[in-house]
Structure 1
Amino acid sequence: MHHPTQQRYNSMLALMASAEVDGNSAPGRAATRLQAELSERKIDLVTTVSSSDACVILSTNPAIQCLLINWALPGDGECPVLEVLEQLRTRNQKMPVFLLADQQTVSTMPRRALELANDFIWMLEDTPTFIGGRIQGAIERYRHTVLPPMFRALTHFARVHEYSWHTPGHTGGTAFLKSPAGRAFYDFFGENMLRSDLSVSVTELGSLLDHTGPIAKGEQYAAKVFGADRTYYVTNGSSTSNRVILMASVTRGQLALCDRNCHKSVEHAITMSGAVPTYLVPLRNHYGLIGPVPPQQLTASAIDKAIQQNPLTRDAKSSRAVHAVITNSTYDGLCYNVRRVEELLGESVDRLHFDEAWYSYARFNPIYHDRFAMYDSDKPTAKTGPSKFATQSTHKLLAALSQASMIHIRDGRKPIEHGRFNEAFMMHASTSPLYSIMASNDVSAAMMDGPGGRTLTGESIAEAVAFRQVLARLRQEYRDKEEWFFDGWQPDHVSDPDNGHNYAFHSAPADLLCREPKCWLLNPHDAWHGFGDLEPGYCMLDPIKVSITTPGIERNGQLADWGIPASIVSKYLDNLDIIVEKTTDFTILFLFSIGITKGKWGTLVNALLAFKRDYDANRSLSQCLPNLLKKQPRYGDIGIKDLADRMFTTMTKLGSTAQLSAGFSALPHADCSPVQAYEALVRGDVEMLPLNQLAGRTAATGVVPYPPGIPLLMPGENFGQADSPALSYLKALESFDREFPEFAHDNHGVEVRDGHYRIYVLRGDLP
């Protein structure tokens, strides 16, 4: 078998699967002549002699652009060739497939094989020139259809336009070639990236601000793929996407309902727009993880009550909210039943905005049915429901470049027409967008289109399930030996709804966990999730967002007699070049994106086992955490268990986990709106004070501890009394950070001076 290890997509590549390749027979000699003809046409040929090998090549080499397969190809099963074709079509419906056969064989082929193939090649009856021309034509047509509109136009422009007199000044990369540092930059990023870095003055590609030309066609294509009426490409991340939507929908003095579990960009958008926020407070569990906003808070009567009790509504022009923002899925992977949320909130607002920054893949796998904003509506009255918006960071868990984001819109009641919406869009968009970011949005849509989306998301789910089950099995095996091990935040048991069989999670059929949403539901009072009496079917855990839990906290919320702070495990993994997504007191989050492989998570399992061995043996920090000891020799060369014990003892004394839940569950009193607080900040009517002087004062900026990256206080909110939940939590963090440098928390809105937290507050009379 000839199998190139690397293949540039801009060359042509075909796979020939035939046992007669290179054989000293009439078909073998015909295959040799065809290979020579294809080489003359600049078409590289990969060859194989078995169906199993053909399946592997097709699934691992997306540069293959045509399949030539002999109906007599040997392999396992009753019909090896049909199995190859079935597998190919689950991933790729467009690739041209030629069956190598004779007319007599075709007359007896199964109908299914004829449906899955595109054409036939009579190797002994047609000339190599004729066959080569048909193959080349099929590949060229395929290449034209496989590239999405904007990316196709960009590649064409970069290929045919040799000279430019417009910005950017590096003119396709040539400026970089004039200095050693520039040459290194050029070599690192490559010619194609630099040639495709173009100016907005390139009319052939259209305009992002006017939504014309190939860029507009790309947005229209993405809207079709993601189920929206309109889609907008954004090159500044979902932070900008959230700001665009809020600025287009709500303005000064209008009420907006806001999930308190919001990203800080929503806080910024509310501040910039002048909206009056009324908050919807999500649940918290024993780990301090953020749960859903319970449905009882979303009823019309509950919304009316929340608005009436909000002191800021005195400045509102109306008592009816015009906009609502909900985070879906949450950072930790909790997904709402959007139909249910729409049913509840649709009575109170005309526009629903779902921040789905971490959730752009949901449409493409049935396990997420009805749990994303652009779900397929089966009601002809959908246009009478609320208008819906979704922001998605295509760079987070799809394959796009950093900062790539999309805004999806489905019009309903009170729609925002394009012209009005685009004014807000242009206010935040760059006039010099990076074309490669837009192109990566285009390609992300193409990767999800057709069967590819389900296959890719299915593979992510399967890898996450496999890892979860290995973790759960190891946990059970160590528990049987009365030893500790890490656990996964997931159901303890699952049931098969088809036959009623119950399984321990680690022993459940993997296929059941990969396809059945009911296995992941947060059922009422299930101890594992810790969110109490949730409405059945309301919330589901996303399989691909895997939280590993460390010992230290019981399901009743009480601290255990001993524990291992998750931060020391993350530091250990970092020393092994394994970077985690998020760490809380006793949880570590890992994201199983479409780029995760068995090799990656297998390495993670080995690293967790290594931590257990080192912890149990109390190996020294110089062996386990050498980087930590270099930066902070004050720890001394103690054992890693000794350090973990010290940290856990401090956390127990400070009650930091309980303080976290209390701090985020209590809604502070709002003294003024976010925009009023910001205006005071700009005027300089603020002062920066330490924590012991903040009692009764008003925050001038948001206070956002990481993790979890959610506002503890919004601008304009009061810190409360000296022992308030917010100040108590901040004091606990400050004390921990002083005692354990290099394990300090990252708190936006907090400045640290000599180990002490300082925060801006308003001074003088309130606005």
Structure 2
Amino acid sequence: MNPEEKLTIAIIDDAIHTETPHGRTMKRIIQKLEESGLVVGDVGSLTDARAAAAQLPGIDCILINWDLGGDSQQNHESTTKIIHEIRRRNDELPIFLLAEPASQAPSGLTVEIIKEINEYVYAMDDTPDFLAGRITAAARRYREQMLSPFFSELIKFSRDFEYSWHTPGHAGGTAFRKTPVGRAFHTFFGEQLFRSDLSISVDELGSLLDHSGPIGKAEKYAAKVFGADKTYFVTNGTSTANKIVFFGAVTEGDVVLVDRNCHKSAEHALTMTHSVPVYLIPSRNRYGIIGPIHPDQLTPDAISKKVQACPFTKYADSDHPVHAIITNSTYDGLCYHAARVEHLLGQTVDRIHFDEAWYGYARFNPLYRDRFAMRNGAKDSNGPTVFATQSTHKLLAALSQASMVHVRNGRVPIEHSRFNEGFMMHTSTSPLYTIIASLDVSAKMMDGPSGKILTDECIEEAIRFRRTMARINREIGHRETPSDWWFGMWQPDAVTDPKSGKRISFTDAPLEILRDNPSCWVLHPGENWHGFEGLEDDYCMLDPIKVTILTPGVADDGRLEPFGIPAALVVKFLDTRGIINEKSGDYSILFLFSVGITKGKWGTLITELFEFKRLYDENTLLEEIFPDLIESYPDRYSGMTLPELAEEMHAFKRDHRMLETLSQAFSLLPEPVITFADAYKRLVRGTVEQVPVEKMGGRVVATGVVPYPPGIPLLLPGERAGDQNGPILEYLKGLQDFDSRFPGFNHDTHGVEVVNGQYLVSCIKEE
């Protein structure tokens, strides 16, 4: 709902259009509301009322007739359900109940219902002018309090139409309108965007740098909503949020425990702070999916051994780690039992940093209880101080680059004034107020019952999609004939009914069981579906909204089967149909069911997967599916069919043992030779050289080598690449050879420059 739009009133009353005293009075009330500039919509049946209850975001006030459908107990029960549904979704929206005078005690009206309504109205008691005024006032109060702290002030300021003598230079969009291209730009985005693009000089809106005024209020409000002691808004993504935390908690000579499954921003933070990383190694399964760090790596004894084994800790000020960073959830949706991780790591470090870039919604649904940083009841003055960095824009509703840092203080609390110095080192003095407003609005959206409603919808839609895919696989994926194949799903095969204790196939499990019971998603020991060994029960859970589709080809033991369809082919096909996945592996494709998901969206995905299957089963020529590919590489792909290319790709991956080599490469901890900072110094000074992957044996890399997606380092700056025939270089060589063999399906590996099909990596010059 645009705060500048007219107020909207919904009237649920089947007697409006009747020639009765009540009907005529309601018509006069509607006339008065419309004369005052309000928009009025009426709903004339119980069925329509139920549908209208789901459209609350566009409504400022609801009037509902208690006798909707007639004065009977059954109809009153239906009306009660509608009121409950409205309140379940929005506990602030004003509800006016139209009924008989209170002295006549309308039948069926309970104290419970009276508590849920705002006003009890008998339309015949007061004048239409008076009632229209009451309704208008309630709607206006709701519209004003509905806004979040900073956003409301931004709206007020933009309404003033003041002349701007400060930056930005476009002065509310005026500058853009002076040239044709500028006018096109202005028209595309609209005047309101430019009028709200303001300078930090605007005192009325406060400052992001000193957290004052409406911005400071918005951060305090977000801290309340997200369960933090302190929250900081970040306008350059969680890459910057991670650096802010490091600069506020870590300095040169400090030992830091680092999840090897970390984003490259952690590597940058280690480089800039000159701190010493000691790595915690996550597991991987047969699909190449990254799993959790096993708890036995987080014990004080295990950490002590890791610190002693690191060659750089001898230069540290102390061998006692001061900080730890853990990725939660992982890029594939694996969530730690955060309380367990804090208990284990908290015996060694005083500060724990959960990189929850993809996980900002966890607090708002009980399915994730105990599996995120800012948990209710987690505050412990004797425990570690805990940070959570969240990309609010990723799976909640905020603009790109919108992120937050949440802090829960423990035995070594963060002092705001000192921490803010690190914050200011990474924050622009000209932040985009639109991003700040989106963070503020996102917090408001998740406050109260709407947080659970929104996350429930994500989870439910993901479950419906998962069950539909599993049911299709059960019906046609049995491989009795060549065309009997379908896509698998990375999810449990069966779950346990919490009431009866009986096992139920995932396909047949009721929505409520899968939605409400975390145990359905836990990686239980001994279950084959997840492919991780040696886990504690309840230690790790799969987030249902992060959906991984499996393409055919991988056996339960990790071997590649005779029949297979590499994910790259499916991804490219979906791309031609306007469906973009989040990331993909060799035989896996990840889709995110965010707040913006709809049934139509995932229904279209299934339809297009069926279309891929049809084209495959009909042995369709590539030129009919990928005409751009044929145009770019006619000599390579002309005359080939989709199954032929799939078979050739699959055979390449099988012959080159790519899944096996990937697992070995990422399970290996390379030898660190020089520090990140030293490697970067040499890079800047130019004492590096580009080395072909075939000649990298024993060389020390100057930059990280990071395959995308999801951006997990294979090699970090200053590390030795290992033997020429070792798993790291064998894996890189396999990627290079695949790219050469299958042009148009190239891998994206940061730190690798491709020249004439050859992988080159920046390495330290040998003396």
Return the TM-score normalized by structure 2: 0.97
CA distance in 1 between partners of 2:475 and 2:294 (Å): 36
CA distance in 1 between partners of 2:194 and 2:633 (Å): 42
* Helix, strand or coil at the partner of 1:314: helix
Superimposed CA distance per residue, residues 191-213 of structure 1 (whole angstroms, 9 cap, x where no aligned partner): 21111111110000000001000
Sort the Cα spacing of 1:691 and 1:378 in 2 relative to 1 into closer, same or farther, 3 A.
Answer: closer
CA distance in 2 between partners of 1:371 and 1:328 (Å): 8
**Residues 244 and 422, structure 2, Cα contact 8 Å, conserved in 1:** yes
Paired residue for 1:475, among 470, 473, 476?
473
> Within 5 A, what are the aligned runs for 1:642-653?
642-653=644-655
Give 2:134's aligned residue.
134
Give 2:763's aligned residue.
761
CA distance in 2 between partners of 1:475 and 1:591 (Å): 21
Superimposed CA distance per residue, residues 342-395 of structure 1 (whole angstroms, 9 cap, x where no aligned partner): 00000110000000000000000000001000011267xx11100000000010
Sort the Cα spacing of 1:646 and 1:77 in 2 relative to 1 into closer, same or farther, 3 A.
Answer: farther
> Within 5 A, what are the aligned runs for 1:288-437?
288-377=288-377, 382-437=380-435
Return the TM-score normalized by structure 1: 0.97
Query: How many angstroms does 1:452 deviate by?
Result: 0.1
* Helix, strand or coil at the partner of 2:57: coil
> Within 5 A, what are the aligned runs for 1:232-311?
232-311=232-311
Superimposed CA distance per residue, residues 452-478 of structure 1 (whole angstroms, 9 cap, x where no aligned partner): 000000000000000000000000101
* Helix, strand or coil at the partner of 1:171: coil
CA distance in 2 between partners of 1:357 and 1:255 (Å): 23
CA distance in 1 between partners of 2:39 and 2:696 (Å): 70
Query: How many angstroms does 1:61 deviate by?
Result: 4.5
**Residues 278 and 310, structure 2, Cα contact 8 Å, conserved in 1:** yes
Query: How many angstroms does 1:573 deviate by?
Result: 0.6
* Helix, strand or coil at the partner of 2:689: strand
Residue 605 in 1 paired to residue 603 in 2?
no
Q: How many residues align?
A: 758
> Within 5 A, what are the aligned runs for 1:658-673?
658-673=660-675
**Residues 49 and 74, structure 1, Cα contact 8 Å, conserved in 2:** no
Query: How many angstroms does 1:625 deviate by?
Result: 1.8
Deviates more, 1:89-98 or 1:675-684: 675-684
> Within 5 A, what are the aligned runs for 1:184-195?
184-195=184-195
Paired residue for 1:740, among 732, 739, 742?
742
CA distance in 1 between partners of 2:159 and 2:463 (Å): 43
Give 1:168's aligned residue.
168
CA distance in 1 between partners of 2:634 and 2:662 (Å): 30
**Residues 629 and 637, structure 1, Cα contact 8 Å, conserved in 2:** no
Superimposed CA distance per residue, residues 238-291 of structure 1 (whole angstroms, 9 cap, x where no aligned partner): 000001001111111110000000001111111111110000000000001000
Superimposed CA distance per residue, residues 11-42 of structure 1 (whole angstroms, 9 cap, x where no aligned partner): 20010010111221111111111011111221
* Helix, strand or coil at the partner of 2:477: helix
Deviates more, 1:342-351 or 1:126-135: 126-135
CA distance in 2 between partners of 1:175 and 1:739 (Å): 51
Give 2:509's aligned residue.
508
Give 1:621's aligned residue.
622
Query: How many angstroms does 1:705 deviate by?
Result: 0.6
**Residues 572 and 624, structure 1, Cα contact 8 Å, conserved in 2:** yes
Query: How many angstroms does 1:480 deviate by?
Result: 4.5
Sort the Cα spacing of 1:8 and 1:47 in 2 relative to 1 into closer, same or farther, 3 A.
Answer: farther
Sort the Cα spacing of 1:204 and 1:8 in 2 relative to 1 into closer, same or farther, 3 A.
Answer: closer
Query: How many angstroms does 1:105 deviate by?
Result: 4.2
> Within 5 A, what are the aligned runs for 1:141-160?
141-160=141-160
CA distance in 2 between partners of 1:717 and 1:315 (Å): 17
CA distance in 1 between partners of 2:700 and 2:258 (Å): 20
CA distance in 1 between partners of 2:477 and 2:436 (Å): 50
Deviates more, 1:501-510 or 1:327-336: 501-510
Give 2:586's aligned residue.
585
**Residues 99 and 121, structure 2, Cα contact 8 Å, conserved in 1:** yes
CA distance in 2 between partners of 1:149 and 1:529 (Å): 44
Aligned amino acid, residue 52 of structure 1: T
Give 1:3's aligned residue.
none
* Helix, strand or coil at the partner of 1:318: coil
Residue 60 in 1 paired to residue 55 in 2?
yes
Give 2:98's aligned residue.
100
Query: How many angstroms does 1:144 deviate by?
Result: 1.9
Query: How many angstroms does 1:423 deviate by?
Result: 0.4
Deviates more, 1:196-205 or 1:495-504: 495-504
CA distance in 1 between partners of 2:632 and 2:409 (Å): 55
Give 1:196's aligned residue.
196
Aligned amino acid, residue 388 of structure 1: V
**Residues 58 and 64, structure 1, Cα contact 8 Å, conserved in 2:** no
* Helix, strand or coil at the partner of 1:613: helix
Query: How many angstroms does 1:481 deviate by?
Result: 6.4
Aligned amino acid, residue 25 of structure 1: T
* Helix, strand or coil at the partner of 2:283: coil
Give 1:440's aligned residue.
438
CA distance in 2 between partners of 1:7 and 1:492 (Å): 45
Query: How many angstroms does 1:161 deviate by?
Result: 3.3
* Helix, strand or coil at the partner of 1:383: coil
**Residues 9 and 63, structure 1, Cα contact 8 Å, conserved in 2:** no
Identity %: 52
CA distance in 2 between partners of 1:120 and 1:109 (Å): 11
Give 2:718's aligned residue.
716
Superimposed CA distance per residue, residues 530-577 of structure 1 (whole angstroms, 9 cap, x where no aligned partner): 111210000000000000001111121111112100000000111111
Query: How many angstroms does 1:60 deviate by?
Result: 2.6
Query: How many angstroms does 1:55 deviate by?
Result: 2.8
**Residues 95 and 118, structure 2, Cα contact 8 Å, conserved in 1:** yes
Sort the Cα spacing of 1:481 and 1:288 in 2 relative to 1 into closer, same or farther, 3 A.
Answer: closer
Gaps of 5+ in 2: none
Query: How many angstroms does 1:7 deviate by?
Result: 7.5
* Helix, strand or coil at the partner of 1:390: strand
Query: How many angstroms does 1:692 deviate by?
Result: 1.9
